[in-house]
Amino acid sequence: MHLARNEEVSPRDGAADPFAAAWRGLFPGLRHRELKDAAAALAENRADAAQAILQRHLEKSPRDAAALNLMAELARQSGAFEEAERLLLLCLQEEPDCAGYRFHYAITVTALKKYEEALAAVDAVLKKEPGNPAVRDWKAKVLSHLERFAEALAYRRELTDEYPQVGTLWISYGNLLRHLGKQEDAVQAYRKASESGEASIAAYMRLADLKTYRFSEAETARMQALSARLDIPAEERANLWFALGAAYGDQKRYAEAFNSCAKANALLRVGTEFDADGLATHRMNCERMLTKDFFRERSGWGNPSRAPIFIVGMPRSGSTLIEQMLSSHSAIEGLGELAELDRTVGRRLALREGGQPEEYRIGGWFEFHGEFVRALSRAMCEWNAEECHAMGEEYLAAAGNGKTSKRPFFTDKGLQNFGYIGLIHLILPNAKIVDARRHPLDCGWSCFKSRFPAGQPFAHRLSDIGKHYANYAKLMAHFDGVLPGRVHRVLYEDLVANPEMELRRLFDHLELPFEDACLRFHENQRAANTVSSTQVRLPLYKTGMEQWRPYEPWLGPLKAALGDVLERYPAPPGSCSLSAA
């Protein structure tokens, strides 16, 4: 049975791999030759071939549980989680006692943030398979989502005690410790993982992500030796180069640090589709269509909820710090980087364009492409008041699935939502929007040297980073002109220099009382799951500013692409015309 595994914890297949046997043992063997062919096609990422085989089989045997399970896997891999859930429920009607199918259901509803349903399904499997390490690992994941961290840590500890040779279990344990602010314990877990050949590169990458960790000369030498091996897959090699870049930078070997990051990004660029001009097209469409008159004619549309607080901007801009500060307020729950707005738009575009939702859900505005931009432009002009209200309702319902408290407000730190500012105003006119902004060279260099777990295709070339930042800044300047006061901007440099003043200004915009706890954000025990999770556990420090300066000799493409956005920072870019308003 092919089933995509938890990338954090599941080691490679092998005779001595306890996880491989644990996964295989959950699923019944495939009896039909064509289902074996479909499973092989799925394993080889040949989705079209797998779908054709499964459709033919289900026409003959529509209630075949094994075929329904494979079709659900196909849907889940394409991001159609609701369809996968539907198929798995049919599958379980046919074979309710199959542990593998129920476990697949748990994995699928976890992606839909139905954590209570996921936990119930996992517990049902554990009644039959109490020692199964793959299922216990997934329970730890679900418990973390439910913020039942003590229980999650207990599972993680037990798994590392039982399988100390599995380095990826130490990685997962270290990740949870890091997210909870237990940095010293996380370092020890990652060092344990580095002793395992299959997990050593991941361990070095996680140590580099800590930002405050400094590699020893011995560790740097071990990474250099690893980099000379020819049998390392491209993505792992990129992770290794990023970690070496961090090590060299700390040792002030700046040329070697830059070259390491450049090699890492070059590897990740191969096979990555990124339309560098897509955001520019979207920006120009917004400048042309989304005028003051456009919004005036649609005044009063949308759902009136004040609950959402959108934090938008570029990665590495201080957004995690802002969210940590806001989530320290008694009325605000931090929900992290949500994809719900993107999914809501995808479903609506699919209804209009006659396609499937996954065709239009692009996973974030950092992946613009022409067809999506054209479809969105048409829809923005044609959606009516009823549709906009329904979209607001749909977003609120989906985002609410991730809430674990009764706090009336929540943050959505989907940074890519800066591309949806106009839409947010139409569907949620009372939602607050906060733009996290950092100096373009600090932000740009930080993006180039960072390994983003979910990927940021624009971040692999300095000129692309500069274009992306410039178009983002110009788009925000447009909305400053046509919707004055709608977006509140927080400059990272000002926040670090005078946090109380900037926070008081921010809370005035949010129409909420300031609370002193927001200045003690580093005491907040909520889990933080981004590249910046370590920094938000520490009091404010100024070392994050002007980190680009030692690398200035190599940043010419970034500067050129930024243009007057760099020259005028922090003022709005002079080249952004507001004549369309």
Confirm if 163 and 198 have CB atoms less than 8 A apart: no
pLDDT exceeds cutoff 60 at 526: no
Q: Is 95 exposed, middle or buried (0-12, 13-18, 19+ CB in 10 A)?
A: middle
Question: d(Cα 157, Cα 403) in Å, to the nearest integer?
Answer: 27
If pLDDT is split at 50, 70 and 90, which confidence band does 536 have? very low
Mean pLDDT of 346-365: 63
3-state DSSP call for residue 487?
strand
pLDDT at position 555: 98
Question: d(Cα 217, Cα 420) in Å, to the nearest integer?
Answer: 46
Give the distance from CA 556 to its chain's centroid. 29
If pLDDT is split at 50, 70 and 90, which confidence band does 50 have? very high
Residue from 394, 301, 314 nearest 347 by CA: 394
Q: Give the CB-side neighbour count of residue 224, counting CA atoms within 13 A.
A: 11
pLDDT exceeds cutoff 50 at 161: yes
149 DSSP assignment: H
Residue length, the chain?
Answer: 581
Task: Choose which CATH entry (2.40.50.140, 3.40.50.1100, 3.40.50.300, 3.10.20.740) describes domain 278-536.
Answer: 3.40.50.300
Q: Phi/psi of residue 126, each to 5°?
A: -65, -25
pLDDT at position 17: 67
Confirm if 308 and 398 have CB atoms less than 8 A apart: no
CA-to-CA dists, residue 503 to 331, 332, 415, 517, angstroms:
15, 14, 19, 11
**506 Ramachandran zone, left/alpha/beta (phi>0; psi -120 to 50):** alpha
pLDDT exceeds cutoff 90 at 265: yes
pLDDT at position 199: 84
If pLDDT is split at 50, 70 and 90, which confidence band does 539 have? low
pLDDT at position 25: 87
If pLDDT is split at 50, 70 and 90, which confidence band does 368 have? low
Q: What letters, b where the CB count within 10 A reaches 16 and e where it falls short, cover 292-323?
A: eebbeebeebbbebebbbbbbbbbbbbbbbbb
Q: Phi/psi of residue 116, each to 5°?
A: -65, -40
pLDDT exceeds cutoff 80 at 61: yes
pLDDT exceeds cutoff 80 at 495: yes
Average pLDDT, rounded, for the chain:
89
pLDDT exceeds cutoff 50 at 207: yes
**Domain residue ranges in the chain:** 278-536
pLDDT at position 201: 93
If pLDDT is split at 50, 70 and 90, which confidence band does 528 have? low
Question: d(Cα 316, Cα 209) in Å, to the nearest integer?
Answer: 12
pLDDT exceeds cutoff 70 at 447: yes
Q: Which residue type does 335 have?
A: L
Taking the whole predicted model, whether its pTM rises above 0.75 is answered as yes
pLDDT exceeds cutoff 70 at 5: no
Confirm if 181 and 537 have CB atoms less than 8 A apart: yes
Residue from 111, 112, 106 nearest 134 by CA: 106
Confirm if 264 and 281 have CB atoms less than 8 A apart: no
pLDDT in tens, 92-101: 999 999 999 9
